[in-house]
Amino acid sequence: MSDKTGARPKTLVIHIGDHKTGTTTIQNALAVGSIQLHDAKLLYPAKMNHNYLTGFITSHRKGTPLPKHLEDRDGLTEVAAQIAASDADYAVLSAEAFENIPAPEFYDLVETFFRGCADRIHIVAYVRPHAQRILSSYAEQIKIGWYRGSMQEFFDHNLQNGRFHYAPRFAQWRELFGEDFTLRPMIRKELKNGSVLDDFAEVAFDGRPCTVEEFEPENQAMTVRELALMYFLQGQFQEQDPWLRHTLGWELSRQLDRSRGDSEAKVRKLVMARDLAEAATAAYRCDAEVMDAEFFGGRPLLRNALRDMEKQSAPCAPSLDPSQFFSPEHLRNLTVMAKIIEGMLERQGKWPSYFHSHRIKDIERHKNARLGLDENGDPLEPEADAEMPAGSETAATPAPQGAAPTSDTPAQTPPPPPARVLADAAAGAAPQKDQP
């Protein structure tokens, strides 16, 4: 798809996901500037990602008012104008939420808003093999408090609605965008250098020479014990707004990841029960075969991934019952703290934006660090930089407005945010058993 702008050829790359395919790592790297093209300019018009644009898309599709929290954000028209005015050779939009928009409707959006701002529009997507996607998405839904059922129930629900039957969906994208649609398998050995960043740079920027600085991965798989903790904590917040639970879950996950020791990193991750893995193979074998034939040159990539999940499965489904991991005393203490924090969340406004801002600030710190600047944009002093402990923060985490200092903390020191309190408590809670 092209529409000559009359200037130097420009490509708009629209990265549409899927979920659970390294999108957060790609987006953070683009926002920080970890991908540097040697002979071309790159524009990434976002502080983190473009998922927020789905609000504008919904408003446009349904003719409904724009949500208030988006009124001050750049919408589809403004982003398209920014791309058109830029002298960049490549511009990138990235949002895994685009996965949920039907291809024909997305095509119409591209034609309406973006066709005239670039010479070529290239749609890039990654797909995670069926069983691995089901496992990862289930863990994600537990983390953000949006699902409370078993993995078997999650499997049955998505089998019924066809969410993980890939072939029909991706066939529509290819039919509409033709050669300007690229689908890559999210299988590490199939990625360039085993890196999703290297692979994305190769595909999105047409193999141009570039430097890719590995960006520390985010949204990593949690241990079974951590998921049991998240299941318990999110159970205390089910009356809260879904977006609050989402951002709180992400913040808790970030804090747990930072406090995780080397020994904890080796604790087993979530796996499928053998009977469920076999059911996944039976349910998705045909779809995997079509995907392999239509998109991956007949190589049995997704078919083999189903077999691999069967090999990695466990005789029984792992339990997320918190009592299998934490003592009654620890659960009681966590319940008390969760209730106190729930009261804080109800009294203060804009908590989702507050938790979300931590991720943006992390990206800004990484970006400044690449440029040799501190969090204020001032040059770092070599002495101060050399003395900074590895992994330390360059700025204190701001306290929620109106929060009172704890009894063990001087009045002038702001208390940690609610998510940090729970994460610190969880990190210090000894498991009742090593494994269920």
What sign results for the dihedral spanned by CA atoms 233, 234, 236, 240?
Answer: positive
Task: Give the H or E element holding residue 140.
Answer: helix 130-143
Q: Is the peptide bond before 18 cis (omega within 30 degrees of 0)?
A: yes
Residues of the chain with pLDDT under 50: 2-6, 383-415, 429-436
CB 390 within 8 A of CB 285: no
Give me the pLDDT at residue 76, please. Answer: 97
Calculate the CA dihedral of residues 351, 354, 356, 357 and round it to 10 degrees. 170
Give me the pLDDT at residue 425, please. Answer: 57
Both tokens of residue 54? 């789905």
Residue 14 backbone phi and psi in degrees, to 5: -110, 110
Give dist(CA 249, CA 296) in Å, integer.
35
Residue pointed to by tokens 């890939």: 166
Both tokens of residue 262? 């080397």
DSSP letter, residue 125: E
CB 233 within 8 A of CB 338: yes
Q: H helices within 14-129, ranges in order?
A: 23-32, 53-62, 76-85, 103-109
pLDDT digit string, tens, across residues 199-235? 999 999 999 999 998 777 666 789 999 999 999 999 9
Give me the pLDDT at residue 394, please. Answer: 32
**108 in helix, strand or coil?**
helix
Tell me the pTM. 0.81
Give me the pLDDT at residue 368, please. Answer: 75
For the chain, the residue count is: 436
**94 in helix, strand or coil?**
strand
